[in-house]
Amino acid sequence: MAKKHVFISYCHDNRDEVAALRADLMAAGEPVWWDEDILPTQDWQTAIREAMQDSYAVVLCLSSEAQAWAESGIYPEALDAIGFYRNYPPGSIFLIPVRLSECTVPPIEIDAIRTLDRLQYVDLFPPDQRRGGVQRLVQALHAASEHP
């Protein structure tokens, strides 16, 4: 089955920054699934997992706000993304860490040879370097093995 879109995993404290990132990706021609499109009465957890499964890439947004959540156990969506990434061989582009602000990429185990903190990430800060970060992200999305 063909993959449909980019999935952005984020901490809701960063909603405004992520909305801007979504707009940038859509302007670059990338379809982006948005969790705010979940309809009333839909099971949000099921909708998110299905959307992630239909994604050709997951952009995992990290920030100082998300780091606070990670210290108490990284948000479940990120663990789902890591679980899906385990199906891809090392070096595949699917899970793309993006830092929205200064923060630590957590050393979460992906599999026996990979951890999240060893994946190259994209920085979207400071503001004067954001545009270049978005361009690098779009470049990575185009290199994803299942990009349409």
**Looking at the domain assignment, is residue 43 inside a domain?**
no
Q: What is the pLDDT of residue 73?
A: 53
Residue with tokens 């479940």: 76
Instruction: Say how many domains are in the chain.
Output: 1
**Alpha-carbon span 73 to 39, nearest angstrom:** 27
Q: What is the pLDDT of residue 55?
A: 97
**In what helix (H) or strand (E) does residue 98 lie, and over which residues does it extend?**
strand 95-99
**Alpha-carbon span 97 to 124, nearest angstrom:** 11
**Residue 16 CB-half CA count within 13 A:** 1
Sheet with 32-33, side-by-side order of all strands: 32-33, 5-9, 55-62, 95-99, 122-123
**Looking at the domain assignment, is residue 30 inside a domain?**
yes
Q: What is the pLDDT of residue 105?
A: 92
**Looking at the domain assignment, is residue 47 inside a domain?**
no
- Could you tell me the CATH number of the domain that includes residue 21? 3.40.50.10140
Domain of 128? 5-38+55-142
Indicate the angle between helix axes 130-142 and 15-27, nearest 10 degrees.
60
Q: What is the pLDDT of residue 74?
A: 59
**Looking at the domain assignment, is residue 32 inside a domain?**
yes
**Looking at the domain assignment, is residue 82 inside a domain?**
yes
Helix (H, G, I), strand (E, B) or coil at 32: strand
Q: What is the pLDDT along the chain (148 residues), one digit of tens a residue?
A: 789 999 999 988 999 999 999 999 999 999 999 999 899 999 999 999 999 999 999 999 999 988 876 555 556 788 899 999 999 999 999 999 999 999 999 898 999 999 999 999 999 999 999 999 999 999 999 999 999 9
Report the length, in residues, of the chain.
148
Q: What is the pLDDT of residue 71?
A: 56
**Looking at the domain assignment, is residue 116 inside a domain?**
yes
Q: What is the pTM of this model?
A: 0.93
